[in-house]
Amino acid sequence: MPLTPFHVLPVWPLYVRWPKRWDLLALSFGCVMSDLEVITVYPIVGTWEAGRGIMHSLLGVFTVNLVLAVVAARYLAPWLAVRLDRRFPGKGWRKFAGHDVVTDRKAWTVTIGSAILGGLTHLGLDLFMHYDTPLFWPWRAVPISALPLEIALNPAWNVGIELVAGAVFFWMLWRWVGK
Ligand SMILES: [Zn+2]
């Protein structure tokens, strides 16, 4: 991690700044998708680090993660937003920074590009938060990290980042989500 939802930090501003060029839902699902393996594998193997494999690799970002993120962005999320909006109207289920995300359909190339970019930002951030990110999975002879081990494993670094990211995240939520 950062905490999974904080991964939207680098991608949401892209959509707010260039709403025609990016697909909000594909960016959003793309940037969190990697951690799906953490919540599904972790309970079985019993360690967070061991839970990071193909979905935290470049191979995954262009294959498994891409398919899952595109399906979630194109079908699942719009379907859910429409339902919720009908059931509890006026709560902004379909709104993000002045756009209706259900009607804001993009070309396939934009959706796919957004999902891939989201995935790459996930790996990029994780490089600064873990002592090992399996970028080249299944090949992983040496740990890959952007940080020296002492920093990557230092709780002060990790907690500090989470606090800063958390503050920005909640600001973005308040500013854009449902508005
Ligand atoms: Zn991750």
Residues constituting the chain? 179
Instruction: Give distance in angstroms: CA of 48 to centre of ligand 1.
Output: 10
Instruction: Give distance in angstroms: CA of 126 to centre of ligand 1.
Output: 6
Instruction: Give distance in angstroms: CA of 42 to centre of ligand 1.
Output: 12
Instruction: Give distance in angstroms: CA of 87 to centre of ligand 1.
Output: 33
- pTM to 2 decimal places: 0.93
Instruction: Give distance in angstroms: CA of 86 to centre of ligand 1.
Output: 34
Q: What is the pLDDT of residues 95-123, one digit of tens each?
A: 999 999 999 999 999 999 999 999 999 99
- Range from 9-13, 49-53, 149-153 carrying the lowest mean pLDDT: 49-53
**Does 48 have pLDDT greater than 60?**
no
Instruction: Give distance in angstroms: CA of 35 to centre of ligand 1.
Output: 5
